Structure 1
Amino acid sequence: MLYKIAADVVVLIHFLWILFLIFGVFIGKKYRIIKTFHITGLGFAVIMQIFGWYCPLTYLELWLRKKHDPSLSYTGSFIIHYAEKLIYVELSPLVIFILTLILVSVSAYFYLKKER
């Protein structure tokens, strides 16, 4: 049971991380340390997708799920798995990569935009 709880906590942290990558630019414009962390996270996300790697949190969640009950484990990407499970949307790795590049572009725009 402890492994299941730990895996669920990792899922929550993973969702929060993704939300930070999406919305972190709004906090990052105000705080330099957040901006640095946000840009680093976006860069890491792009690199992982280019090389076909999964987030370390995905590997941790899968390991914990296998320890609790191997039948609860899934294969592939965290985002693909939960998008299909929660909102019934089928996403390919290419779509996720394109969305990530759009997110990076929008973040770059906000970071580079001069205040009037």
Structure 2
Amino acid sequence: MLYRLLADLVLVVHLLFIAFVVAGGFAAIRWPRLAWAHVPCFVWGALIEFAGWICPLTPLEVRLRIASGQAGYSGGFIERYLLPIIYPGALNREIQIWLGLSVLALNAVAYAWLLRRLRRRARSVR
């Protein structure tokens, strides 16, 4: 039971990390210091997609599921609704490249917005 709870926790953390990679730049517009944490995360997320790597959270979750006696993903809410978001069945290299480009483009927009806002703020202080 403990290993399954830990596997579910890793899955939720993984989903939250993905959400942070994708949308954290827009949160940094509101809280600019958040960019110090977000930039390395979104670079890592894009790098994983471009390089075709597997996030270390994935094998950790799988090991925990095996330790809990699970053979696969079946059963509860987490497996049914969150797994397809994190592990889409049709994922291939082309889709990974597009995901990486999307992460870069989305965050470029967010950080351009943040820089514009910071410049306006700096001008108004003068």
Is this a same-fold pair by TM over 0.5?
A: yes
Q: Which residue of 2 aligns with 1:49?
A: 49
Name whichever of 57-66 and 21-30 sits farther off: 21-30
Where in structure 2 are there 5+ consecutive unaligned residues? 74-81, 121-126
Tell me: higher relative CO, structure 1 or 2? Use CA pairs within 8 A at least 6 residues apart: 2
Change (3 A) 1:85 1:61: closer
**Which residue identity is paired with 2:66?**
K
Q: Secondary structure at the match of 1:90?
A: coil
Q: TM-score scaled by structure 2?
A: 0.70
Q: Secondary structure at the match of 2:30?
A: coil
Change (3 A) 1:3 1:24: same
CA-based RMSD of the aligned residues comes to 2.7
- The structure whose Rg is larger is 2
Name whichever of 40-49 and 29-38 sits farther off: 29-38
For residues 103 and 12 of structure 1, the distance between their equivalents in structure 2, rounded to whole angstroms, comes to 20
**Which residue identity is paired with 2:100?**
T
**Paired-residue identity, %:** 27
Q: Which residue of 1 aligns with 2:35?
A: 35
Q: Which residue of 2 aligns with 1:61?
A: 61
Question: How do residues 87-106 of structure 1 correspond to structure 2 at under 5 angstroms?
Answer: 90-106=90-106
